[in-house]
Amino acid sequence: MKEKIEALRARFEAELSAAKTSETLEKLRVGYLGKKGSVTELLKGLKDVGAEEKRELGQHINALKKQVEERLAAQAEALKTAEENLLIASAEQYDVTLPVNEAQGSYHPITVVQRQLEEIFTSMGFTVEDYPEIVTDYECFEAVNVPKDHPARDMQDTFWLDNGQLLKTQTSAAQNAIMKKYGAPLRAIFPGRCFRNEATDASHENTFFQMEGMMIDKNISISNLIYFMKTMLSQVFERDIQVRLRPGFFPFVEPGFELDISCLICGGEGCPTCKHSGWLELCPCGMIHPNVLREGGIDPEEYTGFAFGLGLTRLVMMKYGVKDIRDLNSGNLKALSQFKHE
């Protein structure tokens, strides 16, 4: 019996040194000290030996039991510490002595107004379409009735890629694909970033946002166009503003208009933002040219429609009284943080 006890002690020590997780330790505990554990079985076996021997063997077995209990407890503690150290070492390090940065982020004013416009138009049954910034010559020009060598291209020089594609100069670049996607009737707006090779000034940037809209159905007329433009502007500005509609030429509309807004920076008196004219070109628009409808797979004999190309960045300038368009792209948090309340 004594040899059995010593063999068990040796086996336990070997198994204990191999135990590297809390789970294996628990298995060991059950295997030695549980109801049917090896040490418990030894104790049960004492009933078959004589009284003399029982006393001596009982002491040995109890000593082994105590040793197993103590060794298991010590090993469990050591494992716990090792696991905690591992967790600390793998956790993200940070300096608790650094001052708290109380500056809160906020949406860019262009995002705020874009979302407001999206809400206005979706409430009137328009879908909101996303479109790439890199497009083909066909999408940006040819599909909207601006063939190669058309003089209207001069107004929209842009950045060309080696593969012949370009950074879109106008959101009109999405017109053709959207017509082909939905057919008629359709109501869609498509905001997007545009790029032009511009000499920048207070109201011109090389990178700016437009938001295009199209409505195509039977019997759509200029009255529908004016209604939607008025509704949109009165909801965005939440006050009366002066607008004027004058003829404008764009190859993709016939007739075409320029919708100007009385400059809200100077109240129409004239300033650098409106080039001292008192008016700011905001939203060219018109009735979609039959060639453009046809190219989009829509029969111009059956359907008519209007399109507009809102200068979203300029609208933001007017709404918030931003005098220089370049502030909006500057990343200057001091200038932009004033819109935080939105």
Residues forming the site for ligand FA5 (CB under 6 A):
170, 172, 196, 198, 204-205, 208, 210, 212, 250, 252-253, 256, 281-282, 284-286, 307-309, 311, 313-314, 325
For the CB of residue 241, give the shortest distance to ligand FA5 in the complex, in Å: 15
Both tokens of 210, joined, read 């437009």
Cα 28 to the chain's mean position, in Å? Answer: 52
Q: Is 75 or 313 the residue whose CB approaches ligand FA5 more closely?
A: 313
- What does each C-alpha distance from 172 to 54, 194, 210, 211 come to in angstroms? 100, 10, 9, 9
Q: Is 114 or 170 the residue whose CB approaches ligand FA5 more closely?
A: 170
For the CB of residue 303, give the shortest distance to ligand FA5 in the complex, in Å: 16
Q: Is 39 or 189 the residue whose CB approaches ligand FA5 more closely?
A: 189
Contact indicator for 314, 265 with CB cutoff of 8 Å: no
The C-alpha angle with vertex 123 and arms to 121 and 124, in degrees rounded to 5, equals: 65
For the CB of residue 318, give the shortest distance to ligand FA5 in the complex, in Å: 10
For the CB of residue 94, give the shortest distance to ligand FA5 in the complex, in Å: 42
DSSP string, 144-156: GT--TT-GGGGGG
Q: Is 4 or 204 the residue whose CB approaches ligand FA5 more closely?
A: 204
Task: List b or e across 22-36, with b for residues whose CB sees 16 or more CB atoms inside 10 angstroms.
Answer: eeebeebbebbeeee
For the CB of residue 310, give the shortest distance to ligand FA5 in the complex, in Å: 7
Q: Is 263 or 282 the residue whose CB approaches ligand FA5 more closely?
A: 282
Q: What residue number has its CB nearest to ligand FA5?
A: 311
For the CB of residue 164, give the shortest distance to ligand FA5 in the complex, in Å: 21
- Count CA atoms within 13 Å of residue 311 on its CB side: 19
Candidates 247, 277, 283; CA nearest to 265 is 277
CA distance 186 to 45: 91
- What does each C-alpha distance from 161 to 131, 136, 166, 206 come to in angstroms? 18, 10, 6, 16
For the CB of residue 259, give the shortest distance to ligand FA5 in the complex, in Å: 8
Candidates 305, 309, 308, 291; CA nearest to 142 is 291
For the CB of residue 282, give the shortest distance to ligand FA5 in the complex, in Å: 5
SS (H, E, C) 119-144: HHHHCCCCEECCCCCEECHHHHCHHH
Q: Is 75 or 158 the residue whose CB approaches ligand FA5 more closely?
A: 158
Both tokens of 237, joined, read 């500005």
Q: Is 26 or 137 the residue whose CB approaches ligand FA5 more closely?
A: 137
Could you tell me how many helices (H) and strands (E) the chain has, helices first?
12, 10
Q: Is 68 or 325 the residue whose CB approaches ligand FA5 more closely?
A: 325
